[in-house]
Amino acid sequence: MSEIPSTSQGDGTSQEDTTSTAESLLNDPTTSPEGDKTAGRKRDLFTIAGMPYLYFGALFITFLIAALTNNLPDSMLVGFGITVVLGGLLMMIGQLAPKVRDFGFPTLLCTFVPAILIYFGLMPRSVPPVVTNFLDGYGFLDFFVVAVIAGSVLGMPRTLLLTAGPRFLVPLLGCIVVTFVAIGAISALLGFGFIKGILFIAGPIMAGGIGVGAIPMSQMYAAQTGAEASSFMADLMAAVVIGNVFCIVFAGLLNGIGRTGKQWFVGFNGEGELMRIQGRRNELTLPKKKSAATFQNLGIGVAISSGLFILGTLLGAIMPFLHPYAWTIIAAAAIKILGLFPRQLEEASTDWGDLMTSYFLPALLVAVSITYIDIDEVIGAVTDPVFMGLTVLAVICSGLVAGCLGWLLKFNFIEAAVTPGLVMADTGGSGDVSVLSAADRIHLMPFAALSTRLGGAVNLFLVSMLVPFLSM
């Protein structure tokens, strides 16, 4: 799933830094071409999208003038430029807001501000067509989603998948499947529809992120029904965002209950310890994300992700009952489990996926906001009591099921309810950070990453199997 740059907690705990390699290079005097002289300038210490703010400002003004004078070329390069600049600016504004930045505020700004600007007629008219063509016409959507899929699956330690994985998989998969069935059943009783409840509420909420959730799902639904992806995006994004808010609230409540010190039953509160079996924690440890990658690795990552997507497309043409994204996931998982790739190729895929989720996620969110999100439809979704009720129930169900199943497998209830339970229902990346922060269990981030990566892929696969029933 998707991640955004994070900040340090007030207690001094350092969260994983997912800022771009470019930013680290700019802020490191030993890597500056001009040595300490350039890196020591105060004006270069504050960066936006990895660039010193003065240079970023010059770039922003250049794009703005071109947009206002209708001189924006309709090309992939300009699409990258517009979305990276606008996404970087909104992300920076969100990060400057104290407290709320830890609750996914930067992601919310990138997701909704561009759509709001269009809604009020404040965005230059030349921008939306260029960004829309960049996302759909030039295929930035596939570019991003496949990179994340390949990097997430191939980046999972094989030993983890084959040994410790099965134990953790039970609450992880259980919370997804039970939430699907429960929300589908309640939706049917309320007249919303069994399949519709799963595909429009449980599916996007349980995706563990936007990049492998609402975005590819809207494409799947559009391909199945013949409608535009934009007609589905507002409902999907509303479910994801609202679900994320309630995940944070419930994580805080669980933490508060745990702080009372009362053990309601054996294994109720592990006080941050996930498992009740001593000496088993390291079995679920993920490798640290690298802060830099070689140009060669990034190039190899592009080639592998594109190859996997082509293979998924071929399999989808032969067996059209699954979407190419689902076949891409199956192909990547088979390669990983069978150990068909050398370590270098797996690391290259992971590096490429990490670049997408760390630097280009704001760009993707901005592009999606401009192309797909209709504010009128979002307002309609959040004012629907049935929709809101089902969204809250999906979050509660995910947490309770994961907690109960985890407890049966010697996990502590609160810890298992937080991850994989609430972590699977948040927005991934920033959502994971927010939920774990609210639960005061930020050290469980490796487990959250496991949930987001593997659970997101499984969720997308299950959704792809149900999509054919959408038009029935």
- Alpha-carbon separation of residue 447 from 39, 272, 273, 334, 402 (angstroms): 37, 12, 12, 22, 13
Residue extents of the structural domains in the chain: 21-140, 141-469
| Amino acid identity, position 163 | T
Q: Are 454 and 419 in contact (CB under 8 A)?
A: no
Asked if the model's pLDDT at residue 19 lies above 70, the reply is: no
Which residues is 319 bridged to in the sheet?
none
| Lowest mean pLDDT segment, chosen from 41-45, 47-51, 67-71, 452-456 | 41-45
Confidence at 64, pLDDT banded by 50, 70, 90: very high
Distance between CA atoms of residues 341 and 356, nearest Å: 21
Strand, helix or coil at 51? strand
Alpha-carbon separation of residue 235 from 204, 217, 241, 275, 388 (angstroms):
9, 11, 10, 37, 11
- Average pLDDT for 239-262: 83
179 sits in the region (left: phi over 0; alpha: psi -120 to 50; else beta) called alpha
Segment 286-310 shows an average pLDDT of: 84
pLDDT recorded at residue 31: 40
Cα-trace Rg, the chain: 22
Is pLDDT of 471 > 90? no
Mean pLDDT across 341-368: 88
Tokens of 383: 């004012």
Which pLDDT does position 198 carry in this prediction? Answer: 93
Indicate if the pLDDT at residue 18 is higher than 50: no
Residues in the chain: 472
| Structure confidence at residue 7 (pLDDT) | 37
Instruction: Return the SS3 of 383.
Output: coil
Bridge partners of 52? 47
pLDDT tens profile 156-186:
777 655 655 577 789 999 999 999 999 999 9
Residue-wise pLDDT for 110-124, tens only, equals 878 998 999 999 999
Mean pLDDT of 185-189: 94
DSSP H or E segment with residue 278:
none
pLDDT at 141: 79
Tell me the mean pLDDT in the region 281-289. Answer: 55
Please tell me the distance from the alpha carbon of residue 105 to that of residue 249, in angstroms, as a whole number. 15
Cα–Cα distance for residue pair 464/217, rounded to 1 Å? 8
Instruction: Say if residues 207 and 460 touch (Cβ distance below 8 Å).
Output: yes
Residue 30, pLDDT score: 37
Statement: residue 405 has pLDDT above 50:
yes
| pLDDT, greater one: 32 or 221 | 221
What residues form DSSP beta bridges with 411? 275
Can you give the pLDDT at residue 470?
82
Does residue 376 carry a pLDDT above 70?
yes
> For position 428, what pLDDT does the model report?
74
Q: Per residue in 377-395, is it b (16+ CB within 10 Å) or e — as a string?
A: bbeebeeeeebbebbbbbb
Structure tokens at 322: 């699954």
Give the model's pLDDT for residue 413: 92
Closest CA to 16 of 443, 356, 360, 440: 443
* pLDDT, position 187: 93
Model confidence band, residue 357 (pLDDT cutoffs 50, 70, 90): confident
The pTM of the full predicted model, rounded to 2 decimals, is 0.67
> How many Å apart are CA 371 and CA 128, to the nearest integer?
7
Name the DSSP letter for residue 411.
B
Mean pLDDT of 330-341: 88
Cis peptide before 420 (omega within 30 of 0): yes
Q: Which amino acid is at 462?
A: L
How far, CA to CA in Å, does 178 sit from each of 86, 134, 404, 410, 420?
Answer: 39, 38, 12, 20, 13
Mean pLDDT of 312-321: 87
d(CA 128, CA 367): 9
Looking at the predicted structure, is the pLDDT value of residue 51 above 80? Answer: yes
Q: DSSP per residue over 259-327, as a string?
A: HT---SSTTS--TT--BSSTT-GGGGPPPPPPS---HHHHHHHHHHHHHHHHHHHHHHHHSTTS-HHHH
Give mean pLDDT, residues 200-215.
84
* Helical pair 295-318 and 140-154, crossing angle rounded to 10 deg: 100
Query: Could you give the CA distance from residue 331 to residue 265 in angstroms, rounded to a whole number?
Result: 43
Residue written as tokens 């921008």?
Answer: 127
Buried-state track 462-471, b at ≥16 Cβ within 10 A, e below 16: bbbebbeebe
Amino acid in the structure at residue 21: T
The residue among 416 and 155 whose pLDDT is bigger is 416
pLDDT computed for residue 303 by the predictor? 95
Cα 195 to Cα 186: distance, rounded to the nearest angstrom:
11
What's the mean per-residue pLDDT of the chain? 81
The 10s digit of each residue's pLDDT in 216-243 is: 888 889 888 888 887 888 788 888 888 8
Residue 373: its pLDDT value, please?
A: 77
